[in-house]
Amino acid sequence: MTTKVRFSTKAGEEIEGALCEPPGSGKTGALVVVHEGYGLNEVMKLHCEHFAQAGFLALAPDLFQGKVAKNDREMTGIIGTFDFQKAVGDIGQAVTYLRSHARGNGRIAVAGFSLGGALTLAAARHVPALEAAVAFYGLPRFPSDEFANVKTPICGHYARVDDWANPRTVEEIQGKVRSGGGQMDVYIYDAKHGFMRSTDSSTYDPKSAELAWQRTVDFLHRHIG
């Protein structure tokens, strides 16, 4: 079941989010689920529910403050005024919220899709004390050299056919992480950008999505319980 929650930022603002609790009453690992450039739409809430069904406490913050794009044109307009750096800070506040939640075991990960995947990698770089990060077909807006000191374990899922997130750039980031002693696993799928988006028949690839999902759940169970 999805519950609407609110949490505060350092700037004193309030952010709404969709929170999904796993079955039972015990403490579990928790994760922040970061939405695509379309906003916190139904498919992102569905991802949140799937993470909960897999045994995790999942929170998807609404980084667009209620705006949801119905098409690529609307998405471009929203992203044009989007504050990427502020969003990373808001993700950090979502992490803080989950650390104090009664169902959480104190171990937190971030997982994001497309724009959210880019923000996930940025969070791995800038949000302290994360236990894990999972990025789906997204790349951040800063040089790969900045990943040399990232120690948060990362799992990345990328498409072989992708004009937005080039697999070669992902592999460069992986090289930087590993050169600094960090851990980053990268998987490249014979699919298009957005292959996890089950509501979009033009990009959804069930075989790739199922494999990426299983790898993600296994990765998260190893790192956050």
Query: Into how many domains does the chain fold?
Result: 1
As a whole-number percent, the residues of the chain with pLDDT over 90 amount to 92
Give the rounded distance of the alpha carbon of 182 from its chain centre.
Answer: 19
pLDDT in the model for residue 50: 97
CA dihedral 26, 214, 58, 34 (to 10 degrees): 160
Tens of pLDDT, residue by residue over 81-95, are 999 999 999 999 999
Tens of pLDDT, residue by residue over 155-198, are 999 999 998 899 999 999 999 999 999 999 999 999 999 999 99
* Reported confidence tier of residue 141, pLDDT bands at 50, 70, 90: confident
Provide the CATH number for the domain around residue 167. Answer: 3.40.50.1820
Residue whose token pair is 């995947």:
117
Give the rounded distance of the alpha carbon of 93 from its chain centre.
Answer: 14
**Which positions ≥6 away from 24 have C-beta within 8 Å?**
none
Q: Which domain holds residue 72?
A: 2-224
3-state secondary structure of 153: coil
* Reported confidence tier of residue 9, pLDDT bands at 50, 70, 90: confident
Count Cα atoms within 13 angstroms, Cβ side, for 164: 18
Q: Is the pTM of this model over 0.75?
A: yes
* Reported confidence tier of residue 12, pLDDT bands at 50, 70, 90: confident
Task: For residue 22, give the DSSP letter.
Answer: P
Evaluated on CA atoms 67, 108, 151, 177, the torsion sign reads negative
pLDDT in the model for residue 81: 94
| Cα-Cα end-to-end distance for the chain | 21
SS3 percent helix, strand, coil of the chain, rounded to 5, is: 40, 25, 35
Average pLDDT, the chain: 95
CB 129, CB 120: distance < 8 Å = no
